[in-house]
Amino acid sequence: MLDTSRARKPTCQEDLEFALVQMKSETLNKVNDALVRLESGNYGNCFDCGEEIAEKRLRALPFAVRCKIARRPRRPPSSASVSSPPGAARARSS
Ligand SMILES: [Zn+2]
């Protein structure tokens, strides 16, 4: 059973909708990709190692393409964005 209905176009709240549409388009790409793999019989196989993705994982993330969550390298937070130095807000009494 395939749901072929398309996402509706937003009609109001453009700023919020714009952000949502961006998210949706990314998700839609993944869903479309999953559908392509579903049709070609590759759905549920890991993109990296080709093994079957666990059903539990597929239920949580239907368009998962890998058997494991790809880890992204974390960047250290930039330390140059301190808005107020410590002690600056302290009132002088003399
Ligand atoms: Zn894998």
Q: What is the CA radius of gyration of the chain?
A: 23
Global confidence as pTM: 0.43
pLDDT single digits (tens) 16-44: 889 989 999 998 898 888 889 889 888 88
pLDDT single digits (tens) 56-77: 998 998 888 889 876 667 777 7
pLDDT of residue 23: 92
- Ligand 1 midpoint to CA 65 (Å): 8
Strand partners, 45: 52
Domain coordinates of the chain in residue numbers?
14-60
- Ligand 1 midpoint to CA 52 (Å): 8
- Ligand 1 midpoint to CA 54 (Å): 10
Amino acid found at 62: P
Write out the DSSP string of 44-86.
TB-TTT-PBPPHHHHHHSTT--SSSPPPPPPPPPPTT--SS-T
- Ligand 1 midpoint to CA 72 (Å): 16
